[in-house]
Amino acid sequence: MSATTQPPASQPTADGAAPSGGPRMKPGASELVSWKAGIGLGLLALLATVLFGFLANSKTAGFRIAEPRDPNASTVTAWITLVVALTAASYLGYRWNTQRGNGGAGDRWVPAATIAAVVVLGLAALGVAGVEKIAVPSMALGWICSVLLLGLAGYAIFLTLNHRRTPRWLGGTFAVVFLVGFMVWIVAGGRDNEPSISLGGLLAGSVTLAVPLVFGSLSGVLCERVGVVNIAIEGQLLLGAFSAAVVATVTGNVYLGLISAAVAGALVSLVLAVVSIKYLVNQIIVGVVLNVLISGLTSFLFSTLLTADPQHLNKPGRLQPVDIPFLADIPVIGPILFRQSLVGYLMYVAVIVVYVGLFHTKWGLRVRAVGEHPQAADTVGINVNRTRFRNVLMGGAVAGIGGSFFTLVSVDAFSKDMSGGRGYIALAALIFGRWNPIGAFLAALLFGFADNLQSIITIIGSPVPSQFMAMLPYALTVIAVAGLVGRSRPPAASGIPYVKG
């Protein structure tokens, strides 16, 4: 008897079509469409109408563009970037439209790449025009954003009533419009008559603050994709920072300090792997214990050794920013993305490598199989626990490199608990990014943006409480986990130990 079971004649297949000879179903007619998106977007649109419309003031919000170091080089780069971005946006837009017209699913990266090309095109146009400041009337733009948000929310509800899913472009457009209105509302609330902020400074600070969060969230991705919950990210960041400071000071070489940070993070992961994978101790408990242990250990060593002789144990030096020719002169985004330290560039490399490795290699297929269904992976010859060991160690090394940012880039000395709970924030970014390296990277940037924005609104005297901005990323994480912006599900075997046999 064949093991393959055919669906009954009256049962539709997964794409909504009946088997040969049966009636075809209208797509979406038999499935229940959740009201979460419509309700969530509707509530946010109403909130935006109150804040951006009724509570808006008559001031003008200003956004200053960062001044280039070399105006001549920046102008040439802006023209070249404008031509390249226009060509790329046109090609990607044509490809996106063609794929949709042919009824195919299309490449998932094309819409995001098209949007990115359009954004770069706009920034290049600002550079060519020599714009130094963008001034926006708060009340007028607030009402425009409110109307657009209400329209998008209404369309989402209309789609739900017609048993159709809310498309991704709608959610993305809603988020962009909401962010624009929110930024203008905040800046216009400053104490000056014409309040303004530096757009370049805001974005640059956001990327800088996000660096350890990105490494921490990538560590979580590597671990949870094989079924191990890594709560110990905080400890890995902290021990990485401590090790980088001490080794770089003793050897006089910051690069050795960077390598030692990766080793220190891997050592924390080794303890996590042995205790939770081999001895089957609860992974969350082990992670919390490791965080407390590393915090106490580094605080003790700092108080007894580093404080006693900081000149020979806690003066590691710093990794200086390195400009990438041409790219660093791209208007606005060039100085932000391409004038980074070695750790900053390693962040970009790590995101790309982890994403390609997980979703486009044989190794990644094995890793995801272990995280989703370890029994099935074991059946086809994959050593489940060995795969988990390797990934947890790699995750620890990645988090350790992120920890080196605190002592080799941000400041040039170690201090008690200087990671400041960012390991837990990285876990939130991991969840908000849906256990995807690209999503975790973008979520970490959002957290860094909110962290930097709360400092800026305090400086300009905006009436919005800075605590609200600190709370916002966590509120968005709750929204994501609740499913208001789509399905958010961890790997099926995450946190579950595997015993062979």
What tens digit of pLDDT does each residue of 328-373 get?
888 778 888 888 899 999 999 999 999 999 999 999 999 999 999 9
Asked if 452 contacts 206 with a C-beta cutoff of 8 angstroms, the reply is: yes
Given a cut of 80, whether residue 101 has pLDDT beyond it is no
**pLDDT tens digit sequence for 489-500:** 889 999 899 888
Ranges 217-231, 299-313, 340-354, 458-472: which has the least confidence:
458-472
How much is the pLDDT for 31? 47
Q: How far apart are CA 354 and CA 31, in angstroms?
A: 35
Ranges 155-164, 379-388, 457-466: which has the least confidence:
457-466
- Beta-bridged to residue 60, according to DSSP, are 137
Q: How far apart are CA 187 and CA 176, in angstroms?
A: 17
**pLDDT tens digit sequence for 263-273:** 999 999 999 99
Query: pLDDT category, 17, cuts 50, 70, 90?
Result: very low
N residues, the chain = 501
> 276-281: which pairs have CB atoms within 8 A and are 24 or more residues apart?
276/228, 276/497, 277/228, 277/385, 277/388, 277/389, 277/392, 277/497, 278/385, 280/497, 280/499
pTM of the model: 0.86
Given a cut of 70, whether residue 422 has pLDDT beyond it is yes
Residue closest to 220 by CA, chosen among 162, 153, 287: 287
Given a cut of 70, whether residue 317 has pLDDT beyond it is yes
Ranges 94-103, 208-217, 240-249, 277-286: which has the least confidence:
94-103
Helix (H, G, I), strand (E, B) or coil at 197: strand
How much is the pLDDT for 331? 77
Query: DSSP H helical segments within 274-421, as ranges?
Result: 283-301, 310-313, 333-337, 342-360, 362-372, 374-379, 384-405
Query: pLDDT category, 14, cuts 50, 70, 90?
Result: very low
DSSP string, 279-306: S---HHHHHHHHHHHHHHHHHHHIIIII
Q: Once rounded to an integer, what is the mean pLDDT over residues 469-488? A: 67
Q: Once rounded to an integer, what is the mean pLDDT over residues 368-385? A: 94
Q: What is the chain's mean pLDDT, rounded?
A: 85
Fill in the amino acid letter for 33.
V
How much is the pLDDT for 107? 67
- Determine how many CB atoms are found less than 10 A away from the CB of residue 360: 10
What percent of the chain lies above the pLDDT cut of 70? 88
Which residue is listed with tokens 């947890």? Answer: 392
How much is the pLDDT for 175? 86
Query: pLDDT category, 20, cuts 50, 70, 90?
Result: very low
Query: pLDDT category, 481, cuts 50, 70, 90?
Result: low
How much is the pLDDT for 248? 95
Query: pLDDT category, 117, cuts 50, 70, 90?
Result: confident
